[in-house]
Amino acid sequence: MELRPVGTSGLRVSRLGLGTMTWARDTTDEQARSLLEMFHEAGGTLVDTAAAYGAGDAERLIGRLVAEMGIRDDVVLATKAGFVIRDGERIVDTSRRALLRDLEGSLRRLGTDHVDLWQVHAWGDAPLAETLDAVDHAVAAGMVRYAGISNFVGWQTAQAATWQQAFPGRTPITSAQVEYSLLARRAEVEVLPAARAFGMGFFPWSPLGRGVLTGQYRAGTPRGSRAATDHFAWFVEPYLENRSRGVVEAVVRAAEGLDLLPLQVALLWVRDAPGVTAPLLGARTPGQLAPALAAEDQALPHEIASALDDVSGGPNAARPAAVGTRGA
């Protein structure tokens, strides 16, 4: 699999990442092993998780599998801190105490002395200086190699990056991670421009529109899908409205014309969009991951990518014009 630099840093990752939000919950241990083996064999390196996923169980599973497979040096382990779900309530705590406590727990569960990329999972109420001081401490202590942010809006992204650049010796913000797909293009307004301005890599989560862009919901809610579960129905429902249906149908038509799957068309649009480093694939089963990996050598024709831009919200101002159309 092709490797891409993460912004202007020296870190390089595969241009697809493996997301693990469902591991140790909807994804069984056996399925997780198969997913990691398939991903690794395809040349994938970026494995993204979080202390909050499965209340730490996803990290435990990753740590065990990576050790059993002997692939720690082959993978870029990325995790997050500062966000937990306690008694069904989402709690964001980005204080120094909470972040470093989360990191110590992540290292223990992952069975490693360091993580390659440590991300602040969400913007919190703690002073930004305190949050980023915890990041600096973790890097200086050797527990973290690179630092990133997740789910920050544009001004928050710029503020964090500016703060770290203000004085020599502070840890640069290497990457940003937010939702981005044909059904969620808000990142193009401020987050992606901020990432470009500060030399940051960009990791889109839910590049398949929370599963809706696969086309599986066109005739209803399939049994076994995320929308059919009590704990993920709320996550999918916002994309099951009329506007989304039009985008899904456009993806399906493009897939038919290109002899690809809708999943592959939606993924390729994100993977090769301007500013994107690596979409994070939240495949729950090997059968969902296989077609994504099979599209490694594919690319969307410029006119198809542009047409999908138009139907999903309008032209992407950062997308280069097709050859022969400049100045037209």
- Checking if the pLDDT of 84 tops 50, the result is yes
pLDDT digits (tens, 9 = 90+) for 292-306: 999 999 999 999 999
pLDDT of residue 325: 52
Which pair of structure tokens corresponds to residue 169?
Answer: 């010796």
- Checking if the pLDDT of 323 tops 70, the result is no
Average pLDDT of 170-182? 98
- Checking if the pLDDT of 19 tops 80, the result is yes
For the chain, how long is the longest CA-to-CA vector?
58
Percent of the chain with pLDDT over 90: 86
Is residue 35 assigned to a domain?
A: yes
Percent of the chain with pLDDT over 70: 94
Contacts of 68 (CB under 8 A, 6+ apart): none
Which one-letter DSSP state was computed for residue 175? E
Long-range contacts of 125-128 (CB under 8 A, 24+ apart): 125/92, 125/94, 126/93, 126/94, 126/95, 126/96, 126/98, 128/159, 128/160, 128/163
The rounded mean pLDDT for the chain is 94
DSSP string, 73-94: GG-EEEEEESEEEETTEEEE--
The lowest-confidence range among 235-239, 265-269, 296-300 is: 235-239
Average pLDDT of 64-74? 98
Residue 284, phi then psi, degrees to nearest 5: -95, -20
pLDDT of residue 61: 98
Domain region containing 272: 3-312
For 242, how many CA atoms within 13 A lie in the half-sphere containing its CB? 0
Which one-letter DSSP state was computed for residue 3? E
- Integer angstrom CA distances of residue 158 from 79, 190, 271, 316, 327: 21, 9, 23, 21, 32
Contacts of 300 (CB under 8 A, 6+ apart): 254, 258, 265, 268, 269, 272, 308
Catalytic residue set = 53
Average pLDDT of 210-220? 86
Which pair of structure tokens corresponds to residue 228?
Answer: 């059919």
pLDDT of residue 236: 78
pLDDT of residue 175: 98
Is residue 79 assigned to a domain?
A: yes
User: What pTM, to 2 d.p., does this model score?
Assistant: 0.93
- Checking if the pLDDT of 146 tops 50, the result is yes
Q: Return d(Cα 313, Cα 184) in angstroms, integer.
A: 9
Average pLDDT of 250-269? 98
Locate tokens 């401020």: which residue? 190
Average pLDDT of 305-317? 96
Q: Return d(Cα 253, Cα 91) in angstroms, integer.
A: 41
The lowest-confidence range among 103-117, 231-245, 310-324 is: 231-245
Is residue 29 assigned to a domain?
A: yes
Is residue 320 assigned to a domain?
A: no
Is residue 155 assigned to a domain?
A: yes
- Find the angle CA(158)-CA(202)-CA(25) to the nearest 5 degrees: 115
pLDDT of residue 328: 43
Is residue 43 assigned to a domain?
A: yes
C-alpha closest to that of 132 among 191, 142, 124? 124
- Integer angstrom CA distances of residue 188 from 97, 143, 149, 179, 216: 33, 32, 17, 11, 26
Here the CATH number for the domain that contains residue 199 is 3.20.20.100
Is residue 325 assigned to a domain?
A: no
Is residue 319 assigned to a domain?
A: no
pLDDT digits (tens, 9 = 90+) for 39-51: 999 999 999 999 9
Number of domains present in the structure of the chain: 1
